[in-house]
Structure 1
């Protein structure tokens, strides 16, 4: 049979065009898969971030929250600039004890802080949002941090002949946590802590505006902090790195203190 060169050329051309169309089709499909994969990846990242924000908010609201220490009132236990983590399970599932370091809302008039620096609406909004969900420590605006000295019903007074505080008539040795050189109190007082309240004092007694200075009648009614204002118990320092450590409640200081009301009962029985 005679060979037709024109026919061979036409077949080759048709084959080339078909292969080109196939390659274009494959190329178009590959680009679509890339776009779809990118979109899926973005969606996954958004979902993960949203879950992380929700989880952080839940943890901050119900379990733990970080706070920034803005003042000298708790030196040398806590220094200005320290970051602490507060357990919101106390009070709640766990009771507050004497010696615990607690963060609480300002009962009213305790704070006299300058207004926070204005970073501009965008940065202020971003900062407040990150604090709200728990990704940044609270700057402690509107909050205070002190050590619990008296529980509801406790009689707290200053001071005995050896300059020691007395709780329910028992002198306590506070040298393990108050700032070296500080006296337990320069101010004399003798109060009974009301039900549902706490008597709190800073470890740096000379620089702490605490229960002593917000109780003008000397009865403990105004200087004591309502329990429902307590945010939680500070239990660990997380910043700076060289100061990471647990916060000691020094519970042994109060180990010999009798139960609340026991001193009043004993005094009544001896009359």
Structure 2
């Protein structure tokens, strides 16, 4: 049997090498495209960056803090921080506080903490600053000061109706929230998302780089 010329073996090896390189390049390109696609899907449908505007959530959040929120998440738990489009505000039309109607809200996007959900009864003692939910006094280590400001939206105790949440800012003396007629009861469909993590903060507020980050979910 005649032997293959050495030159032909070299050409064959070079062709195999080129095919291998092209295959590797195609795999890398496919992985890169898939990674970009997943990244875009996550940040389009699951995570969304937002920037805090204002001081109503001090000391937990400061003006210009950068957050990632989970969207859509319209069933947050008590104590979680939410981003809300305050287009409409829920009020009671009767003294028994059972019939709800809506008025125009502040028409701005706000960040607040969920204090009570549908079916829960909230009571606020503005003399002592104590907040009670379903008969249990709330431990609120995150607030800047006790809840002594009453903006007159409701009489307490009050049961949150179906489809709404009651929210307050951590800076209780400087927050316009469910105590105020402009926010009042927040319709759940106006919840944009739940705050997942803080990933950015002004360096002047941070003792170290670690202070820029906080898990808040």
The TM-score range, normalised by the shorter chain, is 0.5 to 0.7
Q: Deviations over 1:1-54 (max 9, x none)?
A: xxxxxxxxxxxxxxxxxxxxxxxxxxxxxxxxxxxxxxxxxxxx9xx78984x5
- What TM-score results when the alignment is normalised by the length of structure 1? 0.53
| Cα drift, residue 206 of structure 1 | 1.1
- Structure 1 segments unaligned to the other structure (5+ residues): 1-44, 113-141, 216-221, 249-271
Q: How big is the shift at 1:232?
A: 1.3
Which structure has more strand as a fraction of its residues? Answer: 2
Q: 1:166 to 1:160 in 2, by over 3 A?
A: farther
CA distance in structure 2 between the partners assigned to 1:143 and 1:56 by the alignment:
25
1:61 aligns with 2:28: no
Q: Is the CA contact 1:102–1:233 (under 8 Å) kept in the aligned structure 2?
A: yes
Alignment partner of 1:205: what SS? coil
Rg bigger for which structure? 1
Size of the alignment, in residue pairs? 163
| CA contact 1:101–1:233 (8 Å) conserved in 2 | yes
Say what the alpha-carbon RMSD is for the aligned residues.
2.8
CA-CA distance at 1:72 after TM superposition: 0.2
Picking from 206, 213, 216, the partner of 1:244 is 213
Report the 3-state secondary structure (helix = DSSP H, G, I; strand = E; otherwise coil) of the residue aligned with 1:58.
helix
Aligned 8 A contact 2:168 2:178 in 1: yes
Larger helix fraction of residues: 1
- Please show how residues 166-205 of structure 1 align to structure 2 within 5 Å: 166-174=132-140, 176-179=141-144, 182-187=145-150, 189-190=155-156, 191-205=158-172
In the TM superposition, 1:1-271 aligns within 5 A as 52=36, 55-88=38-71, 90-91=73-74, 95-108=75-88, 110-111=105-106, 142-159=108-125, 162-174=128-140, 176-179=141-144, 182-187=145-150, 189-190=155-156, 191-214=158-181, 223-240=184-201, 241=209, 242-247=211-216
TM-score (norm 2): 0.65
Structure-2 change in CA distance of 1:160 and 1:209 (3 Å): closer
